[in-house]
Amino acid sequence: MRIVTWGIWLVVFLLLAAFAARNAQQVELRFFFDGMLSAPLVVLLLAFFAAGALFGVLALVGTLLRQRREISNLKKQSVAAPVPPPPPPF
């Protein structure tokens, strides 16, 4: 199974390397107020992908921290309040 996983990673890497090689031409990214950035297309694509991934992770940080705090509080409550034994059967 490990060999299959490495094979898939190798194929993905080769496809991305071929994509980068085919898109190495310079492009101009124009901003407001006459700002301009000139870079290879694949660099700009990678930069915007990384920025989007970073924004996605940052959007989840608040939820993750709130859930961890809630789990911690629930663990403290479960230790502080022992569960009473069930009533005896009739």
Q: What is the DSSP string of 7-42?
A: HHHHHHHHHHHHHHHHT-SEEEEE-STT-EEEEEHH
Residue 39's contacts (CB-CB under 8 Å, 6 or more residues apart) are: 26, 27, 29
Q: What is the mean pLDDT of the chain?
A: 88
- Tens-place pLDDT, residues 11-51: 998 998 888 888 788 989 888 988 898 998 888 888 999 99
In DSSP terms, 39 is beta-bridged to 27
Q: Which residue would you say has higher pLDDT here, 29 or 56?
A: 56
Average pLDDT rounded to a whole number, residues 52-64: 95
How many C-beta neighbours within 10 Å does residue 32 have?
5
What's the rounded Cα separation, in Å, for the pair 16 and 42? 10
pTM above 0.85, yes or no: no
